Amino acid sequence: MQLLDGAKLSAKIKEELKKETANLKESRGIVPGLAVILVGNDAASELYVQMKAKACEAVGVYSVVHKMPENIKQQAILDTIAMMNNNPFLDGILIQLPLPKQIDPSDLLERIAVDKDVDGFHPYNAGRLIAGLDTFAPCTPLGVMKLLEANAIDVKGKNAVVVGASAIVGKPMAALLLNAGATVDICHILTNDLADHTRRADLLFAGVGKAGLIKADMIKEGAIVVDIGVSKVDGKLKGDVDFEAVAPKTSWITPVPGGVGPMTIAMLLANTIKAAKKRPI
């Protein structure tokens, strides 16, 4: 069993991105800019936004957080998005999820300019991903692919099972794997006999946010297991995989924390810099 160390790889990627931002500033006078819309007082969201801001500062990306109250109206957020779309110094815009119940997230995500959609959630970019075209891929699945690539894990021709079918993780994860040549099986809440699917996986990706969902008897010997889900249990972060029981059966496995999480932020930075490179002169 070997660990897929996302913390180590993300640190390496950030150093490379720092050089890219310095070069952009020197050659074109561009400082990549990222705007985050944070609605409400969700503690986990606030912490995550702080981590993003700190990461931006470390690599030379300008970041701004637009904080809004819990009872904000939909139109007020739409007006803010329009303002950000028209700001030439902002290359990326993201809306921190989850949102309060009165807000329709789909409407907001569709209003972000497609060339500033660094989270990759706009239907336009989602469609380009499905078509195998260059686009902004969602940061978590993109980070997983980079983690596999960095450890010389080729998914081509492998049986991949994705547990979870969200538009943020499961569906784009499946699309990236399919584009890379894997045979992909997607499981979700309505799947009958989940273990029957997971036991056939050469690569298993779990992203539903249910602690300990994947047990040792649900995977085959030598499988590669990527734990994308995160839950807090008794004050500690836990993944979807029962790590202690599952790890001895695997060839590679991600820890939680320190696996996929750091890669998500690294890919957000990478997407923002990618957008900045396309900024009109």
The catalytic site residues sit at: 52, 96, 119
Determine how β-strand 250-253 pairs with β-strand 92-95: unpaired
Residues 6+ apart with CB under 8 A from 199: 218, 219, 220
Secondary element (H or E) of residue 162:
strand 159-163
Cα 108 to Cα 101: distance, rounded to the nearest angstrom: 13
| CA–CA separation, 202 and 198 (whole Å) | 9
For 177, the 3-state DSSP assignment is: helix
Distance CA 209, CA 62 (A): 31
Distances (CA, A) of 112 to 34, 71, 80, 140, 207: 13, 21, 10, 19, 25
> Please, what's the b/e burial string for 162-195 (b: 16 or more CB within 10 A of its CB; e: otherwise)?
bbbbbebbbbbbbbbbbbbebebbbbeeeeeebe
d(C-alpha 175, C-alpha 26), whole Å: 36
Longest dimension (CA), the chain: 56
Phi, psi of 167 (to 5 degrees): -75, -15
